[in-house]
A and B are shown apart, each in its own frame.
Chain A
């Protein structure tokens, strides 16, 4: 069996260019957490079921535990650390206010899923839009109701801001 060597992989994380030396099949999740110390991205299941490790790659919501780092070459990655600017993103604000976060471990992934959902809405999403948009992110604490409310509130604010 040929020895697997580490390779250099370059991408942008939260707007900053980064290059890491990693095994090509290393999980993007591990590279983010261990090499780049971006520990806001969480591991819940390691098999793409729970969504705690959700990040955005070129604007698409993905489970970083299922992405070999080699596949991220040249991409733009956004993690939870890249969502707030000077102030919280409207989705984060709404999660705090509405009780969308309890234990917080699913929250980074859930916030990224919600940010994606809110960003794609031209109008107020229906309940089904929200349920389906978040169905890849599991939460054991909330029963999701406060999260739905947070998404609705964030949509109202961003639609209001855009108007």
Chain B
């Protein structure tokens, strides 16, 4: 559906991806496509045990070790940490290891085949220590593996008074839900190239989401000043959060090897190393206790949300925060208590993955809503309809919903488009006669765009714009293109704001020597938050041209070009920049953990239809309808692609993607046995937008990237329950999980 402002030339138009031709012809250059003269290859020797004390490192005979550059923790000139939030994670383990695959020794050599032999010839002598592998073990603290109490972070959200509500409840429903780790599985593995010279300092090229995260981590690790570290993003083959924090680690490794060898060093992981060693989605456990009135209104929600952070903090505190704030969903409830914790274990650190804690807590909530509906004898959609938050009402963290919201309307549309009512009725009639049962289920949810809480204020993102002597406009931002469409969407926003041809806009490659820090490319913030800065930065260019009298009020693209040329001739340069400031009235109180958690929310209702084979325990998603309100849609094809891709990952999260751990090590770190959806596995994914322009987004847009991974898992598992009458409370619902659940039912 299109909004009314059809006068727009670029906003709302499906303009083809800016770098599309380079990608379809194979000309786009990714880090592994780059070679430098005299370049060495780097490899990482990793801990085989989950927790232990390093007694020694042995270099076995038969390898010409003198040809190798060898780096250990002792070679680190600065602070041995991957600088991020708590700076607790070493770049190379020193004396102790806290998870399997923890890096201990780095090697570099010009011959990558010999390098691999050498990697296998390094023997780490590690005395094992008892390790912690479950949330319960971590909470029991028999082994303290991090800090004083194994707790990275905890939050408490309280509104109303949950304890006093239980006595007034018509019904109280309890449930416990679990989600597993999930691998981002970008198809381009992590990789970096580093060069180091005494004069120019360090330069790093690689696959990443957040050039300035890498920049800060390298300054800290190598003890270098700002201008001696340069980070350049190469074409990035998918990120999904997996290239938010981990690139700082691999960049650090390449940098240490380059510094010691004096040569360029490339490290590119193979798939197995990438899957085994890098971050994954936090596994979680959520307990719900919900009180409802006789009329089916939520009276109290008591939620305990725990995520497993792995061995080091990485981004766990903020993953936990987003998960906590989303745990009560798009509902109004007068009494809410959410207690949440991120705990330490001896798994490789879990980290950012699209959704960032929200898919976990939303899975639990949306399963719980179906359980409450069942106990009340209400239809799932009816319970939701009675409890959706409305404009002017308050969410659990005390945020008043000021923008227009119509969850009931979105739900009606989703139910209609999926033919929900008729199918629910038909499946109920036909299932008793069918071997393969059919079911349909829904999930309703929200996703906050931008950094959580005060995050955007602290980031104070900056975007630059400049005119070129040819009269084109260049946008300077550190926001990366990783497939989601940053370059195209920024160009559309800039061209629309200036009223000039789309081709007159250039997006500068993110390079910390050239672009200002517009913040990390995460948190559904790039279009809404950074895009708004792009809009105001380019408007600054126009304003200068207008003020100088070189540009009339109404102008053509050619007049704009001429004016830029003239301005640069007269003044030498034409530049502008824009810094983030919070929209009026948006305030978050860090101390009380209350307030406007996000500038805006996207809202959605997803419906899944499934077949459940009771003989083979195979589950198939047959149809998927995704209805959402994300503000104005800047580019319908790109936006639809974001939703479809997110839904596909969500279907994987729900049914297929099972990380198998053994003593803290991922044992299925291959695409052969870690199963992501193929083109033969997915249903038609049908995407629909309602467009309600957001006053503070560029052209009215809100964030979109993470939203679609929140809804599929609960919608699918709700559909499985509708099909098979079985209450499954953990994902992925592999055939084994379904079998156990069903046999429990039959027992």
Q: Which residues of A contact B (CB under 8 A)?
A: 33, 38-47, 49-50, 52, 79-81, 83-84, 88, 92, 95-108, 111, 130-132, 134-148
Given contacts A140-B238, A140-B645, 4 further A-B contacts (CB under 8 A): A102-B17, A105-B186, A105-B238, A145-B684
Task: Kindly count the residue-residue contacts between A and B in the assembled complex, taking CB atoms under 8 Å apart.
Answer: 168
Assess A104 versus B679: contact at CB under 8 Å? Given A43-B32, A140-B186, A141-B641: no
Query: Chain A interface: which of B18-26, B46-54, B344-352, B518-526?
Result: B18-26
B1-59 CB contacts (< 8 Å) to partner A: 14, 16-17, 19-30, 32-33
Assess A103 versus B644: contact at CB under 8 Å? Given A135-B680, A144-B679: no
How near does chain B come to A43, taking the closest CB pair, in angstroms? Answer: 7
CA distance A2 to B536 in the complex (A): 68
CA distance A87 to B648 in the complex (A): 32
CA distance A136 to B678 in the complex (A): 8
**Cβ of B644: which chain A residues have Cβ within 8 Å of it?**
142-146
Contact between chains at A99 and B640 (CB < 8 Å): yes
CA distance A79 to B677 in the complex (A): 26
Contact between chains at A138 and B187 (CB < 8 Å): yes
Contact between chains at A45 and B641 (CB < 8 Å): no
Contact between chains at A96 and B16 (CB < 8 Å): yes
CA distance A136 to B30 in the complex (A): 22
Contact between chains at A46 and B185 (CB < 8 Å): no
Assess A148 versus B679: contact at CB under 8 Å? Given A44-B188, A104-B237, A140-B238: yes
CA distance A46 to B28 in the complex (A): 20
**Cβ of B26: which chain A residues have Cβ within 8 Å of it?**
38-41, 79-81, 107-108
**Cβ of B685: which chain A residues have Cβ within 8 Å of it?**
143, 145
**Cβ of A97: which chain B residues have Cβ within 8 Å of it?**
16
CA distance A118 to B26 in the complex (A): 19
Number of interface residues of B (CB under 8 A): 56
Residue of B nearest to A26 (CB): B113
B235 within 8 A of A: yes
Residue of A nearest to B672 (CB): A49
Contact between chains at A143 and B29 (CB < 8 Å): no
Q: Indicate with 1 or 0, residue by residue over B181-204, a CB within 8 angstroms of chain A CB atoms.
A: 000111111000000000000000
**Cβ of A145: which chain B residues have Cβ within 8 Å of it?**
640-641, 644, 684-685
Contact between chains at B185 and A101 (CB < 8 Å): no
CA distance A148 to B644 in the complex (A): 12
**Cβ of A142: which chain B residues have Cβ within 8 Å of it?**
641, 644-645, 648
How near does chain B come to A53, taking the closest CB pair, in angstroms? Answer: 11
**Cβ of B379: which chain A residues have Cβ within 8 Å of it?**
none
Contact with A105, one of B24, B30, B637, B648 (Cβ below 8 angstroms) = B30
Contact between chains at A146 and B640 (CB < 8 Å): yes
Residue of A nearest to B680 (CB): A135
Some 13 contacts from A to B, beta carbons below 8 A apart, are: A39-B26, A40-B26, A47-B671, A49-B672, A99-B14, A101-B17, A103-B237, A104-B19, A104-B235, A107-B26, A131-B680, A132-B679, A132-B680
The 7 tightest CB contacts between A and B, nearest first, are A40-B26, A103-B483, A105-B237, A104-B23, A143-B648, A80-B26, A102-B483
